Amino acid sequence: MLLLLLITHVSVSLAVQCDLTKVAIIGGSYTVSDGGNVGSKVEYQCPKGKYPYPKYTRECQYNGFWTDQKAKTICKDVRCPRPVTFEDGDYEPRQPFYKVGDTLYFECYSGFTMKGPQNRTCQENAKWTGETTICDDNNGYCPNPGIPIGASKSGSSYKMENKVSYNCQQGLVMFGSKERECLEDKSWSGTEPSCRQWYTYDTPKEVAKTFSSSMLENVDTTNLEDRSDRSVRILKDGLMNIFIVLDTSKSVGQNRFDEAKSASILFIEKMSNYDIKPRYCIISYASKAISVVSLRDPDSNNADAVMEHLEEFQYDRHEDKQGTNTRAALHAIYEHLIEQELAYEREGKKEDFMKIHNVILLMTDGKFNMGGDPREEMKLIKRFLDVGIRKDNPREEYLDVYVFGLGSDIDQPEINDLASKKEKEVHTFHLQNVEKMKEFFELMIIEDDVFDTCGLSKYHSVELDPKKKATVMFPWIVKITITHNGIQYCKGTILSQYFILTAAHCFDLDDKTQKKKKK
């Protein structure tokens, strides 16, 4: 009798539905997954320049009510953070809030030099255009690190080993480093912080700009330190592991998982254009972690094979999708690294293992809900790789952790804590959805940064104007205009930023040497 009652209770619970008339939004639209059954989610959309208040989503609970059901959802105007303070200068206008299109104008006091833009405009994603504006008298050992809009700073001495700390205005979330130290090389430790609204997203174009890989040929890490836009340090013939970590929990769903796979394949395809052969490790996680591709696999450095393995991996491989066990995914990375170190040690090449540059791309649509705090596992990985442990040799260049929060249900402090913190670099991103992730990977390569590679053919752009198709598909070909007897010719192939290979018969012995600058 007891068993019968239990089964009846479970059946009734599963049959509960939430009232779809209770999810309306004023001024926007919404979509509902799973028809309002328990666990289904409502996602709200608003026109550009607005956001859903009080939240982007609601979820159907077992009691038949939506989360926050009593609160009416409305599209509100996007607002950018307002300045808390501005050192050694002034700004205008001073307003209680700033909406999309509003512009701030800065000026520095006499004796101070302005670094950064003189004016900044509030954008549709609640971010200000440009970088932090700073007024500096250039008297410190390190330059003035500045105060991001929406933040306050403690500490005004910029001598070596001096520290500054930041706090965000109430209601704002910090991305970047809360504390920074003036280092011996006159740079600041960590990443410049930013204070963001909870509804702020990064656009694919913004992410591509900061993440774009240098991919320069025959360079070393010391040269790359000076590049503010470099994201993944890539050395030709260098050693590299790339870990791609995919969230496959229930909230992701089949369609978004397929999009995430597609975006990851696109990333691998982009990387295969360069003169490097990294080893890939792909991990899918929900309640448990599954290694789709392992570092030890013989074909883990074969891009085509890796893409094929990922394409074959199915969403339903995870039997239990209820959990988001981020720590299990990071622990899988930790175990793969231990296994790789042992393999190098057996071959007497342990020193080579410590020279491997490790890149982790973690994609998630939510916060962890089981398995423990993933930040603790990240500490183990850093300790194992001897990264950020010793002050005299932090070895930060051997580990880059990029965290991509996808969607609205993101624990922003969590993804910020997991990501690397490096000077003039950004490792934490919050994209609106996985489709934006794919769009970002499309934009990832900037041609101006890859002059020293053999050329990157955008062979997927087959719908181009026939007149433009050749230059896009064969970007290494250059037209050289030399006029002899009224005829213009020849063509050449770009070898590097300074050399073009062409035929000797294009020139006469009497031709004068000239310097030509081409873009």
Q: DSSP letters of 386-432?
A: T-SS-SS---GGGEEEEEEEESS---HHHHHHHS---TT---EEEES
Whether 255 and 157 share a structural domain: no
Domain that holds residue 423: 202-444
pLDDT given for residue 65 in this prediction:
93
- Ordered per-residue pLDDT tens for the chain, 519 residues: 444 444 444 444 456 889 999 999 999 999 998 788 888 889 999 999 999 999 999 989 999 999 988 899 999 999 999 999 999 999 999 999 999 999 999 999 999 999 999 999 999 999 999 999 999 999 999 999 999 999 999 999 999 999 999 999 999 999 999 999 999 999 999 999 999 999 999 999 888 888 864 333 323 333 433 443 434 445 555 689 999 999 998 878 888 889 999 999 999 988 887 767 899 999 999 999 999 999 999 999 999 999 999 999 999 898 887 888 999 999 999 999 999 999 999 999 989 999 999 999 999 877 888 999 999 999 999 999 999 888 888 899 899 999 999 888 788 899 999 999 988 888 999 998 888 888 888 887 544 444 444 455 544 444 455 555 566 566 667 777 766 666 666 777 776 666 777 777 777 766 666 655 444
Domain count, the chain: 4
d(CA 254, CA 252): 7
pLDDT given for residue 467 in this prediction:
57
Taking every pair of C-alpha atoms in the chain, what is the biggest distance, in angstroms? 106
Whether 405 and 324 share a structural domain: yes
Tell me if 197 is assigned to some domain.
Answer: no
Q: Is the pTM of this model over 0.85?
A: no
Give the CATH number for residue 493. Answer: 2.40.10
Q: Which two tokens stand for residue 352?
A: 């080579």
Tell me if 194 is assigned to some domain.
Answer: no
Q: Which of 123, 150, 181 is the last residue of a domain?
A: 181
Q: Which of 418, 444, 470 is the last residue of a domain?
A: 444
pLDDT given for residue 29 in this prediction:
95
pLDDT given for residue 230 in this prediction:
39
Tell me if 188 is assigned to some domain.
Answer: no
Q: Are 363 and 246 in contact (CB under 8 A)?
A: yes
Tell me if 294 is assigned to some domain.
Answer: yes
Tell me if 309 is assigned to some domain.
Answer: yes
* Cβ-based burial of 114 (10 A; exposed 0-12, middle 13-18, buried ≥19): middle
Whether 161 and 214 share a structural domain: no
CA atoms within 13 A on the CB side of 262: 14
pLDDT given for residue 382 in this prediction:
96
Whether 263 and 408 share a structural domain: yes
Classify strands 29-32 and 173-175 as parallel, antiparallel or unpaired: unpaired
Give the CATH number for residue 70. Answer: 2.10.70.10
pLDDT given for residue 449 in this prediction:
44
Say whether 268 sits in a helix, a strand or coil: helix
Give the CATH number for residue 440. Answer: 3.40.50.410
Q: Exposure pattern of 65-83 as b/e (b: 16+ CB <10 Å)?
A: ebeeeeeebbbbebbbbbb
Tell me if 395 is assigned to some domain.
Answer: yes
DSSP assignment letter at 500: E
Whether 323 and 307 share a structural domain: yes
Whether 165 and 271 share a structural domain: no
pLDDT given for residue 198 in this prediction:
93
Whether 169 and 221 share a structural domain: no
Sign of CA dihedral 205, 207, 210, 212: negative
d(CA 249, CA 286): 4
Whether 245 and 347 share a structural domain: yes
Whether 69 and 88 share a structural domain: no
Tell me if 191 is assigned to some domain.
Answer: no
pLDDT given for residue 160 in this prediction:
95
Whether 385 and 353 share a structural domain: yes
Tell me if 303 is assigned to some domain.
Answer: yes
No. of H helices and E strands in the chain?
Answer: 11, 27
Whether 210 and 230 share a structural domain: yes
pLDDT given for residue 14 in this prediction:
52
Classify strands 289-293 and 357-364 as parallel, antiparallel or unpaired: unpaired
pLDDT given for residue 442 in this prediction:
82
Whether 235 and 288 share a structural domain: yes
